[in-house]
Amino acid sequence: MLEGRIVRLEPLSAEHEEGLWLASRDARTWRWLSVVQPRTRDEWTGWMRQALEAAEAGTEIPFVTIRQEAIVGSTRFLALRPEHRSLEIGWTWLHPSAWGTGANAEAKLLQLRYAFDTLGCRRVELKTDALNERARAALEGIGATFEGIHRKHMLVRDGESRDSAWYSILDDEWPAARAHLERRLAAT
């Protein structure tokens, strides 16, 4: 578990299914994710199963984001490459009630702190749809460096073409990014 003042990140488990289902109901949450919003309980069970299977296989580390004792979203470590001391933070989504509360910034701080200070990462990657201006501003706001656009990077949401904006934070950039995030959160 990763815990801060605003949020705590708990490893995803089957016990979180109901709370995540409720947090995932606003369509705005899914606008920029790579999959179509699960609309039925069966579809949601499939989303949960995929996340739990990835965790069990060791290919991803999914978390539940909890704010004021309510589940408000999820985030993951993925693209785990321990041989290169690198990983990606992604699959991040929050219910709109958590937008603008510092929940995302603190979740990123907790994940980055764990990646750099505990796992010894050299590089943490983050990416988003190139058209997602809100997420791009958030990534720049946490101190990530824009690396460019990967054109036609992915097919998402049942075949839509996506250009992806790539960002990263490197280990030698981490102390300044951490200080920036801590100052920003202190003002929240």
For 157-180, the pLDDT digits (tens) are 888 899 999 999 999 999 999 999
Domain count, the chain: 1
**Confidence (pLDDT) at 122:** 98
Name the E strands within the chain: 2-3, 7-11, 61-67, 70-81, 86-94, 123-129, 145-156, 160-170
Q: What is the pLDDT of residue 188?
A: 83
For residue 53, is pLDDT > 90?
Answer: yes
Contact 156, 56 (CB under 8 A): no
**Count of residues in the chain:** 188
Closest residue by Cα to residue 92 from 109, 72, 73, 113 = 73
Residue the block writes with tokens 């990967």? 150
Q: Residue 187 — very low, low, confident or very high, per pLDDT cuts 50/70/90? A: confident
State which residues form the domain around 65. Answer: 2-186
Q: Residue 49 is part of a domain; what is its CATH number?
A: 3.40.630.30
Looking at residue 157, what is its pLDDT? 86
Start-to-end CA span in the chain (Å):
22
Measured CA distances, 52 to 3, 100, 110, 113 (Å)? 21, 28, 21, 23
pLDDT at 55: 96
Please determine, for residue 16, whether its predicted confidence score (pLDDT) is greater than 90.
yes
Q: Residue 72 — very low, low, confident or very high, per pLDDT cuts 50/70/90? A: very high
Q: Answer yes or no: is pLDDT of 136 > 90.
A: yes
Please report which confidence band the pLDDT of residue 156 belongs to, taking 50, 70 and 90 as the band edges.
confident
| Alpha carbon distance 185, 24 (integer Å) | 25
pLDDT in tens, 82-128: 999 999 999 999 999 999 999 999 999 999 999 999 999 999 999 99
* Mean of pLDDT values over 42-55: 96
Q: pTM score, two decimals?
A: 0.94
Angle subtended at Cα 98 by Cα 188 and Cα 3, rounded to the nearest 5 degrees: 65
